[in-house]
Amino acid sequence: MKKRSDKAWYALFVLPLVFIFTTVVIIPFFIGIGYSFFSWDGMALNPKIFVGFGTSMAVFLYHGFVKSIPISLEEAATIDGCTKFGVFWKIVFPMLKPTTATVMILDVIFLWTIYD
């Protein structure tokens, strides 16, 4: 389904990918704060950064994958008598397994490198 607000919601979720990297890594180095003041240990105390980055990355990956699913596949399932929920649950959801595995691996690697 396409609505007017879809692009705004997508931008709301994906923009932190740019802003988090900029505010967390680049700005402190340009200001001259240095690595000792703004270390990864200080970031570990703030889970908002992890949630923001993880959610943004997941929305970006899922959006790209779901957008690549052909509409004809969903239309064929609807013609065969599937509801919208049935189309998602029986057709689209099983196709999301590789993307879900990718999101899980990326989140684990991100958290592993931060806490290591």
Angle at the Cα of 105 (from 87 to 12), degrees rounded to 5? 65
Cα distances from 91 to residues 69, 75, 84, 110, 114, in angstroms, run: 10, 11, 10, 30, 36
With vertex at residue 114, the alpha carbon angle to CA 113 and CA 116, rounded to the nearest 5 degrees, is 65
Per-residue pLDDT of 14-25, as tens digits, reads 777 776 665 655
The structure tokens listed for 86 are 């049935």
Q: Residue range 18-35: average pLDDT?
A: 57
What tens digit of pLDDT does each residue of 76-109 get?
A: 999 999 998 999 899 999 999 999 999 999 888 8
Residue with tokens 């029986």: 90
Domain residue extents for the chain:
6-115
